[in-house]
Amino acid sequence: MELHGKNLIGGNPVASSDKTFQAIDPQRSKSLDPDFFEASENEIDLSLDLAEEAFQSFGQSDPSERARFLDLIADEVEALGDALIERAHLETALPMARLTGERGRTCNQLRMFANLIREGSWVGARIDTAIPDREPLPKPDIRRMLQPLGPVVVFGVSNFPLAFSAAGGDSASALAAGCPVVLKAHPAHPGTSELVTRALLKAAETTGMPQGVFSMVHGVSHEVGLRLVTHPLTQAVGFTGSQKAGRALFDAAARRAKPIPFYAEMGSVNPVFVLSGTLEERLESFVQGYIGSLTLGVGQFCTNPGLLVALAGENWDLLMHQLSRGIEALGCGTMLHDGIRAAYEEGVDRLKEQEGVRLVAESEAKPNAEKTEAQTFLFETSAETFLGEAFLKEEVFGPCGLAIKCKTPEEMVSVAKAMEGSLTATVHGDEESLSEAAPLLSCLRRKAGRVIFNGFPTGVEVCPSMMHGGPYPATTDSGVTSVGTAAIERFARPVAYQDFPDNVLPAELRNKNERGIWRLVNNRFTQEDIEI
């Protein structure tokens, strides 16, 4: 499939701007054809006008129709075959096997949401029937359920060109809820985004979805993102990226005349705490697991374990020695693009210059700048230094770890309390040490969205119980997840109907439970019809 580089608005390729850019092959530092056209203000406005128009029917569409649409998107993405994987590899340098697995995750997510809305209970139907003769006042009939917000803007993600981009989790959950989507394609992989968007639009045409149900716009300038976020028809935003960019857009969303939800995933250090006794029992396996997690995808995972916290003593020295040996033997890896590489090197340089921080190890292989390569680093500091320096609490996005040496378990708790919000927190130990670490666990439950025992944070299972979120700055809303079926709730809001005639109510709230969903009726969960 030949790429045209144009914006795809309402199913049509559009390019009126004279601003263009090209994708860069990070392994060779070479431009890739074709030119991609940055969206003009008029094109952004048109995409949201069409999305609002599409919402009038798509937001009220039968869930089975939306489910068929989602299933067919997955089929069409798979039908792109090797061409999709090859283009994504060229634009990101991610291994072909990794991208093949990510395509599988993308399609599985789409089918997961299709099954969710077919079953239907996600709308959270709550029904309290009337009691007209109640004293001193009659009780009205009140029925509530979740309903879609309206047009949603999704920002494509650099480190997940498939699973968190055009047809990724944010788009899938928004479409499942009944919200049209305008995608801001990531400029690091615009060709990949075009291929997936064209597959999605083909599915939309086949299933008879309204024009404007999905549009894709390009842009490297900040103005494109700002206009999308501040456009009066945008009702919610899904974003994954840097804290600086995320916070700027979040503030813009809050300053609107009518503020909107801005669901941003930004920075996360994902600490790993090692309890007493752990290293005596399984030092080698722990070291292998930690290094593997730290360097997975050249450290470019949002759940990369950037901080390692353990107790001082003989086992600390042995841990540092073993980690050093493992890290020194590593080669270099190509990062997603030069901007990420430059930011990573800046963070590493700051650690090297920080008083009280010692460089423990670095991979012996030296990076080739023309291949956008990066080394792996491990630094060490004391709990006292960590507690006194704000920079050490920030994420360095890439294969860089900071080990924090604590004198006592109480000092470990102090370190945990001083940390910023995080997507994950991990604890290694046995059942006995875990039971003795209640203060630490109590703190970590407040600091992270997912707490892991004897594992490592990289690798996010896509399932209904997953929580991929956390307190700020990990996300801007710690009450929601961007992975798993609960992600759909970000793009819906509850609406209550009082004393409505039964035949006018949404199908999910009528007396006859035609869809067979679970509903809370007069304080009891049931799938039964309501007898009036």
User: Active-site residue numbers?
Assistant: 265, 302
Collapsed DSSP state (helix, strand, coil) of residue 501: coil
Q: How far apart are CA 187 and CA 193, in angstroms?
A: 9
Residues whose CB is less than 8 angstroms from the CB of residue 392 and which lie 6 or more positions away in sequence, other chains included: 351, 354, 357, 381, 385, 386, 402
Residues whose CB is less than 8 angstroms from the CB of residue 524 and which lie 6 or more positions away in sequence, other chains included: none
Q: How far apart are CA 372 and CA 363, in angstroms?
A: 16
Q: Which residue has the tokens 């569409």?
A: 61
Q: How far apart are CA 169 and CA 110, in angstroms?
A: 8
Rounded to a whole number, what is the distance in angstroms from the first to the last CA of the chain? 58
Q: Residue 24: phi, psi to the nearest 5?
A: -120, 130
Answer yes or no: are the C-beta atoms of 76 and 199 closer than 8 Å: yes
Q: How far apart are CA 493 and CA 126, in angstroms?
A: 13
Residues whose CB is less than 8 angstroms from the CB of residue 382 and which lie 6 or more positions away in sequence, other chains included: 356, 404, 405
Answer yes or no: are the C-beta atoms of 174 and 152 closer than 8 Å: yes
Q: At what angle do helices 82-92 and 96-119 cross, to 10 degrees?
A: 120
Answer yes or no: are the C-beta atoms of 308 and 327 closer than 8 Å: no
Q: How far apart are CA 57 and CA 123, in angstroms?
A: 18
368 Cα distance to chain centroid: 30
**H or E element in which residue 377 lies:** strand 377-382
Residue 256 per-residue DSSP state: S
Q: Residue 489: phi, psi to the nearest 5?
A: -65, -20
What DSSP string runs through 158-196? Answer: SS-TTTTSTTSHHHHHHHHHT--EEEE--TTSHHHHHHH
